[in-house]
Amino acid sequence: MATPPNSLEKLIGQLFILGFKGESIDQHHPIAEDIRERNLGGVILFDRQLAEKRDQNNITSPSQVQALVSSLQDYSSSTPLFVAIDQEGGMVRRLKAKTGFPETNSAGNLGTEDDATGTAIHAACTAKTLHKLGINLNLAPVVDLNTFPENPVIGKLQRSFSAAPDTVIRHAAIWIREHTKEKVFSCLKHFPGHGSSQSDSHLGFTDISNSWHTKELIPFKTLIQDKLAHCVMLGHLYHEELDPEYPTSLSPAVVNTLLRKQLDFQGLILTDDLQMKAITDQYGIEEAVCLALAAGVDMIIIGNNLEYVPDVLQRVIPAVLIAVKENRIPETRIHTAWQRVQTMKEQLGPQPQ
C-alpha cells in the first residue's frame, strides 16, 4: 500500500494526466518540472500538435517513443507514471505506419467481420507494441453503440464495434484481455454513451437528451460486472434527464448515482480531455477541474493539444486547494481519488528497460 505524500498539493498532482509538446524532454521541460515538482500522475502522447497545426509532436519512431517514455519515467521518483495514448486502430491511432508502427484495423471493421480470432490478433499486436514502448494505459476500447452511423465522432470514424450490445461486449472483452496479458490497462469510453450523439464534443456543446437510450449502458454494465473495466472515461455529453445542469463529465448524478451506485463501478474514473470545446465553451479550466473532482472523478485529462498551456498544472492545483479550503471539494474526495490512482498503479508490471 502506497504511503500518501505529506502535502495535499502532491496528492492533487497525481490526479492529472497531461499532454506536452516535443519528441524529447530535458530537466527544464515543463512536463519534467510537473513530474518532479508537482508529482504529476500521468502523461498522454499525441502524434500531432493541433494547437500549432504541427503534424509532428511526441511520436516520430519506435525508438524515439521508447526513449521519450523512459526519460519521462526517470523524472518520476516516487510512483510510476501512467503513460496514456489513444490507440484504437483504424482512423484513431497515434502510432501510425508512416512512423514505423504496425497497421491495425478499426473497431468498426473488427465488429463487422465479427471474428474473435481476428480481433484478438489486432488487440495483441497493439498491446505488445504499447508494452514494448513503455505505454501502460490505452484509452480504448470504445464501447459506445453505433446507433447513429452518421455520428461525426464515432460512427463516421468507425470507432464503434457495432450497434448491437452483445457484439460490442464480445470484442471489447477480447481487446481488454489481450491488453491485460501485456500489463497494459484499457479504458472503457465514452460513458454514458457517445454513439447516438449527432455532434462532436471536441467542437462544442453535445446534447444527447433526445437520442440517448438506456441500452447504451449495457456494454459498460456487463464489462464492469465481468471485472474487465480497469477504468472508465466520461464523455462531455449533456442529457437533461441525467443532469439538468452539468455535462456528464462534471455531473455528481452521473458519476455517483449512475456509474458508482447503479452500475457498481469502484475503479478509476477519468474525464475525456477537459480542453474540448464542450467544456471550454462553458467553463474555465480551473472551474471545470474543481467541478469534476467534486463530482467524484478520480483523474483528469488535459491534453495540451487542442490548446497548449505549459503551466496548466501550476494554475489548477492552487484552484483545487482553494476549493478544498472552501469545502467545495471535500478533502476526503482528494484522498479517495489518490488512493484509486495508487491502487491501479500498484498493478503495473515492471517497466521495459
| DSSP 8-class letter at 254 | I
Closest CA relative to residue 87, chosen from 178, 13, 167, 195: 178
Q: What is the pLDDT along the chain (353 residues), one digit of tens a residue?
A: 566 666 899 999 999 999 999 999 999 999 999 999 999 999 999 999 999 999 999 999 999 999 999 999 999 977 999 999 999 999 999 999 999 999 999 999 999 999 999 999 999 999 999 999 999 999 999 999 999 999 999 999 999 999 999 999 999 999 999 999 999 999 999 999 999 998 756 666 789 999 999 999 999 999 999 999 999 999 999 999 999 999 999 999 999 999 999 999 999 999 999 999 889 889 999 999 999 999 999 999 999 999 999 999 999 999 999 999 999 999 999 999 999 999 999 998 665 55
C-alpha cell at 57: 509532436
Instruction: Please list the residues that pair with 17 across neighbouring strands.
Output: 42, 301
CA distance 341 to 60: 30
CA distance 79 to 202: 31
| DSSP 8-class letter at 197 | -
Q: CB burial class (10 A; 0-12, 13-18, 19+) of residue 264?
A: exposed
C-alpha cell at 208: 444527447
Domain 22-345 has CATH 3.20.20.300: yes
Q: Cell numbers 523524472 correspond to what residue?
A: 75
Closest CA relative to residue 350, chosen from 114, 132, 192: 132
Question: How many Å separate Cα 159 from the centre of its chain?
Answer: 15
Q: Identify the pLDDT of residue 114.
A: 97
| DSSP 8-class letter at 207 | B
Beta-strand runs (E) in 139-280: 185-191, 231-234, 268-271
The DSSP line for 35-102 is HHHH---EEE--SSBGGGTBS-SS-S-HHHHHHHHHHHHHT--SSPPEEEE-EEETTEESS-GGGT--
Q: Identify the pLDDT of residue 203.
A: 62
The residues that are catalytic are 202, 272
Q: Identify the pLDDT of residue 78.
A: 79
Please say whether the beta carbons of 295 and 255 come within 8 A. Answer: yes
Peptide bond into 141 cis (omega under 30): yes
Please say whether the beta carbons of 352 and 140 come within 8 A. Answer: no
Helical residues (DSSP H) of 226-305, grouped into ranges: 252, 277-280, 285-295
Pairing of strands 92-93, 87-89: antiparallel
Which residues have a Cβ under 8 Å from the Cβ of 286 and sit 6 or more positions away? 315, 316, 319
**The model's pTM:** 0.95
